[in-house]
Structure 1
Amino acid sequence: MRAHGDFSRTADRTPGMTVLTVDLVHHPAHSVLTLHGELDFASSDRVPPLIDAVVKAGRRRLVVDTVGLTFCDSRGLRALIHAERALAALGGGMELVNVHGRLLRLLDITGLTGVLAITTGPGAGQAVRK
C-alpha cells in the first residue's frame, strides 16, 4: 500500500520555503515513511495520522527515511518522538535512516541520538530498499 501527499499549508508559508511531502509504503515486515522538505510547526501535525496508518496496516516497525528532509524544528522533533513512543507502546519501534547535516546535528545537540534509533553511515537505508 502506498500513500503520497503534499502536507503543506502554503498560505502560512513564506515564498520560497519548502513544504513537506511524504511517501508511505507498507512492506511485509515494516513500513517506510520518506520525508521531503520541512518537518516543522506547519506540517508536524500530519505525522500522527501516518503513524495510525502504519498501525492499522498491522506494522509495528517504521523506517523513516530523512534523505530529503531539509529542515526540522522542535515541533518536528516532537512528532518523531511521539511516533517512536506510540510504536514502542505496541511492542514495535522506529528507525531514522539517512540522517544527515542539520538534522543529525539537531538530534545530537538535543540528546536524541541516544533515544532514537538512527542510521547515518554505510548501509543507511538498507531497510528502505527491502
Structure 2
Amino acid sequence: MAMIEISSSPTSTTLVIDGDLDLAERDRFPEIAARVVGLRRQLLVIDMCGVTFMDSTGAAFLITLADSSRSRGGATVLRGADARDLFVLEVCGALDLFRVEDTCSHTKQESGFQRPAGTGSTPSA
C-alpha cells in the first residue's frame, strides 16, 4: 500500500507519495483528490521521489489533480518523477500539465536506486 501524505502552507499543497501508485490504490484517489482540491492552493507539488511504480491508473490520478489545479489558475509541480513515470504521462498526452523538477533529496538515492540520465527522454526498449 502506498503512503500518501498531504501537507499545506498558505500558498501551496504538497503531496508526498511513497510506494506504488497504481490500480490497487484507485479506491483512495477520489478522497485524496477531494482533500487536495478543497485546500484550494495556487501551487500543488507532487513529490514522486518515493514512488516505486506507476501505471496508467496512477497517471490518471495525477492528471486529475493537475487539471483541477489548472482550472483554478494554479500550477502543478512534479518533483522527482523518474523516466518511466514521465514516459507514462507523455504517452497519456499530459506531460505539459506539469512543471517537472528533477530533485530528490532522499528515498530513491538512499535506497540505492540511481535515476537514469535524461529523465525527460523516452526510455529505450
Question: TM-score by structure 2 length?
Answer: 0.71
CA–CA separation in structure 1 for the residues paired with 2:38 and 2:94: 27
Cα distance, 1:107 vs structure 2:
3.1
Cα distance, 1:81 vs structure 2:
0.6
Aligned counterpart in structure 1 of residue 3 of structure 2, from 1, 18, 21 = 21
The alignment status of 1:107 with 2:102, answered yes or no, reads no
Tell me how many residue pairs correspond in the alignment.
105
The alignment status of 1:79 with 2:64, answered yes or no, reads no
> Where do 5+ consecutive residues of structure 1 fail to align?
1-18
Residue by residue over 1:58-115, the C-alpha shift from the partner in whole angstroms, topping out at 9 and shown as x without a partner, is 4232100000001111111111111111111112121110112421333344443334
Runs of 4+ aligned structure 1 residues displaced above 6 Å come to none
Q: What is residue 115 of structure 2 aligned with on the other side?
A: none
Identity percentage of aligned residues:
29
| C-alpha contact (below 8 Å) 1:41/1:75 kept by paired residues | yes
Tell me how large the CA RMSD over aligned residues is.
2.2
| C-alpha contact (below 8 Å) 1:45/1:79 kept by paired residues | no
Structure 1 SS opposite 2:86: helix
Q: What is residue 117 of structure 2 aligned with on the other side?
A: none
CA–CA separation in structure 1 for the residues paired with 2:27 and 2:72: 21
CA–CA separation in structure 1 for the residues paired with 2:68 and 2:17: 19
CA–CA separation in structure 2 for the residues paired with 1:46 and 1:53: 11
> Where do 5+ consecutive residues of structure 2 fail to align?
106-125
Question: TM-score by structure 1 length?
Answer: 0.68
The aligned runs of 1:37-116 (5 Å cut-off) are: 37-116=19-98
